[in-house]
Amino acid sequence: MAVSVDADGLRFHESGQFTPAATGTALSFRNVYRWVVHDDRIALWHERFGCEAAVWLFDLVAAAPDKLIAAERHLCGEDRYDARLRLVEHGFELGWSITGPRKDEKLAYRYLF
């Protein structure tokens, strides 16, 4: 993972392999997530196809001193994306839940600095 910072926010450039539960076959992926910190929330954007084609996913808002949750679920067609961020020592964990007619996945990201 590479991290870049500019006036638009903090970008995480990620790549790796993902194995969907439905197929069990590993798939390579590349993603760019833009994190924009506001006074009362953190906005998360997906920039896989570039910053000009960014897709806003959701705003993460405080739910506890060490936890943020998506203020609203992100809809992609009929699939719903939800997320919870938890602060841990030296970083944070982001758990995704994706449910709908095309997807039923749980993803766990751990960002350590």
**What CATH number corresponds to the domain at position 61?**
2.40.128
- How many domains, the chain? 1
pTM of structure:
0.86
pLDDT digits (tens, 9 = 90+) for 25-81: 999 999 999 999 999 999 999 998 999 999 999 999 999 999 999 999 999 899 999
Range with the lowest mean pLDDT among 15-24, 43-52, 87-96?
15-24
Chain CA centroid to CA 55, Å: 11
Chain CA centroid to CA 30, Å: 13
Calpha distance 113→96 (Å, rounded): 20
How many CA within 13 A on the CB side of residue 19?
A: 3
86: enclosing H helix or E strand: strand 79-88
Q: How many CB atoms lie within 10 A of CB 100?
A: 14
Residues 92-110, mean pLDDT to the nearest whole number: 92
pLDDT of residue 22 exceeding 90, the answer is no
Expressed as residue numbers, the domain containing 106 is: 2-112
**Cβ neighbours of residue 6 under 8 Å, at least 6 residues apart?**
none
